[in-house]
Chain A
């Protein structure tokens, strides 16, 4: 196959950036999309030009490193498929394909197709965990968990943290990512003691990082390579509201006792 690529090139965060065109004359339909980029890069190096920088690692759809917008869609045309698992057989011969980085102000471009997603780590650090210091755990079977809930929690936990949800959202909201973690833990008994505090802290951090708010477009779910459902967003929203009410009640009670 013959492919023409329009690729976003940007030296560093402050560079304006521009598209450049590259031809790939002999592409095998069995290649993955990232292998196509390898081939283009090998040629660029031999021509004395700088190869295209892109994030990747596992190349099997699980690490969440790869992050390219392909023809306007995060990870490209195939549903529930990361860019590294997308094969060239999904494109017609002679296709002209446009590649861009995730676009979101909370994900500044580092170089070319690479963006800085460390905001996601900070959302987790704010509350996306169960506080269970090593050594403090009871026997694993001491706490039976309804299979249905365990399965639902696993559906949410399948998030790979790639950020396609943010890239797809017109508001660049990180709600699907945040909700997937909050919801996983809210579905499990281990997550209950910190449930309300978690919801508040993660959402606050998300806002602070400059992600937009969720207005229910649902583009995130369509773009998610793991098919994470927006039901989890509804669950987090409920928890967040509940947590705010509780906080309100608590201030009221403590105010009373102070007065009494």
Chain B
């Protein structure tokens, strides 16, 4: 497979501008002749669908929820970055670019990241114009906060509901186009197959989740904006329906999968309480601005936190990383929590937890100020745990939160299948091996509002709008495959539920492909996953029929795909014999336990190519060149 990233020539600050000039345009009168299918209407998909429709293309959009307003983006709490430098604290496009490349542990493509930093400023303007109620100062100007891994205040926020407000802005722009008849929205529809005709993405097969009808929609280009695949771990901060199905189907049709092993484990989530648990809840990273993280110095110290005197507490992040302290990047903070717990210093009933303590901040700023900043998060915590964080420190533990890996895309966000574009968390592009806080919302909206609408135009300008016959052999074959798979799942009637398989897979992934990975564990996982998958296809019980709403069938299809995707993640983790960002290989660490990269051998993207059911996938490589930011050991000390 040939990987051409299509990075424009020229100085980094001019690449995007020049590229925009070089791209072909579709004549305004011709735009309505082209149809773009947008799968997923989270931040990336809704913003792309709305903007493409504003430009005049015909758009059909799809999501599995009952309304596009419920996409998982809605749950983002903390904020969105932009290089506005409104705080006059030395921020700039270049600094955001630099921080993001460094934060990603030098495993992202420079040109993409620079463009992201450039358009970040437009995103804020766009959202303000839509009426997104960002937090403001008394003078009426926009407020900012700082976020993990950055030393400037560049994060814009709307209380603890930034994702909600940004998504509603994009959703309203989308609904406006629906009202104008420019977008046809298909809610409660799930993509189950991609239709590729003569090497080009030409359509999708979807199942109407209410009627069970399986149907093909044809288009001149397809956008996948279907979010991340972190639910492979079962317990994660994702919404329950988040899935890897769309990108996995595309992978099996020939789209390369970039860096599947790069997953983000977020340091501040509410710890697991028992076997009934169905998901983990994030406590926004913004809490680390005022909360101090600590564990007892003494292993096995079971005293209540208030009885542990100051000098018997270990504020380990402040101790190990004095210049970033509690704001150390996520991968580093997560691993440090794991280390403390592995050493027997974890707190709470399970010993898998550390304190996030607001005692000092409340004393310094007063309870009112803390309530104003974090009230809704404190409330959420109290609801779930029955503890009052104004009185006792929160208990937190790392949990799976984001996937930096995803479908490989070039500078135009096009996958290795021509006509298939991938946006938002579903692609692998901008975050390298670790994502900094408040940068996923930025990337999703950058892709959807400001990148795709141009690059898709360039693609469409080079192809003729063509109908695709409903009885085209490729369409028939794709539909038949979807039906056969559903029928197979419904016919097994075994002895285990879908959820029990999902939990079992999650346990394997967390144990062997979680916060710390090693050769032996990954090899064990590569034995266990195929065995579990084989059992799934013999012993799963999916009740009901495919001819109506059937939530068991929906999740069975998703888990079946996770059972394959999980294996690719482990394979990628095994081959990447270095530690970088969220990918920590125990064999590759420095004396003081920090990640040790191997730039000689691994300063590249691993882009996996499907080679067929019985054959091992092929690992292709896109070398990463660092022309502007010098490769350096990441240090937050």
Contacts and interface: CB of A to CB of B under 8 A. Distances in A.
Interface stretch (B66-74, B91-99, B520-528, B612-620): B66-74
A45 to B, nearest CB: 5
B140 A147 contact: yes
A117 interface: yes
Interface stretch (A55-63, A207-215, A252-260): A55-63
Given A28-B276, A139-B125, A121 B552 contact: no
A126 to B, nearest CB: 6
B179 A125 contact: yes
Given A42-B497, A120-B67, A133-B54, A30 B549 contact: no
A143 interface: yes
Given A57-B239, A64-B69, A188-B131, A46 B495 contact: yes
Interface stretch (B191-199, B258-266, B339-347, B380-388): B380-388
Interface string A110-154: 110010111011001110111111111111110111110011011
Nearest to B124: A140
Given A35-B278, A61-B380, A120-B67, A132 B74 contact: no
Interface stretch (B169-177, B403-411, B572-580): B169-177
A62 B75 contact: yes
A125 to B, nearest CB: 4
Contacts of B72: 57-58, 63
A51 B137 contact: no
A250 to B, nearest CB: 22
A121 B449 contact: no
A164 interface: no
B273 interface: yes
B134 interface: yes
Interface string B131-162: 10111111111100000000000000011010
Interface in B229-270: 239-241
A242 interface: no
B381 to A, nearest CB: 11
Interface stretch (A69-77, A81-89, A93-101, A228-236): A81-89
B128 A129 contact: no
Number of contact residues on A: which range applies?
A: 35 or more
Contact of A49 (B69, B124, B161, B543): B543
Given A55-B66, A57-B241, A59-B239, A114 B131 contact: no
B67 A128 contact: no
Contacts of A160: 74, 164
Contact of B549 (A114, A128, A151): A114
A129 B173 contact: yes
A11 B544 CA distance: 11
B67 A137 contact: no
B541 interface: yes
Given A50-B544, A85-B380, A141-B86, A117 B67 contact: yes
B279 interface: yes
Contacts of B499: 38, 42
Contact of A121 (B54, B68, B277): B68
Interface of A: 11-12, 28, 30-32, 34-35, 38-39, 42, 44-46, 48-51, 53, 55-65, 81, 85, 87, 89, 110-111, 114, 116-118, 120-121, 124-126, 128-141, 143-147, 150-151, 153-154, 157-158, 160-161, 184-185, 188, 190-191
Interface of B: 47, 50-51, 54, 65-70, 72, 74-75, 84, 86, 122, 124-131, 133-142, 158-159, 161, 164-165, 168, 171-173, 175-176, 178-179, 185, 187, 210, 239-241, 273-274, 276-279, 281, 380, 383-384, 386, 449-450, 453, 493, 495, 497, 499-500, 541, 543-544, 548-549, 551-552
Given A118-B67, A128-B172, 5 more contacts: A53-B551, A55-B66, A64-B69, A126-B179, A134-B47
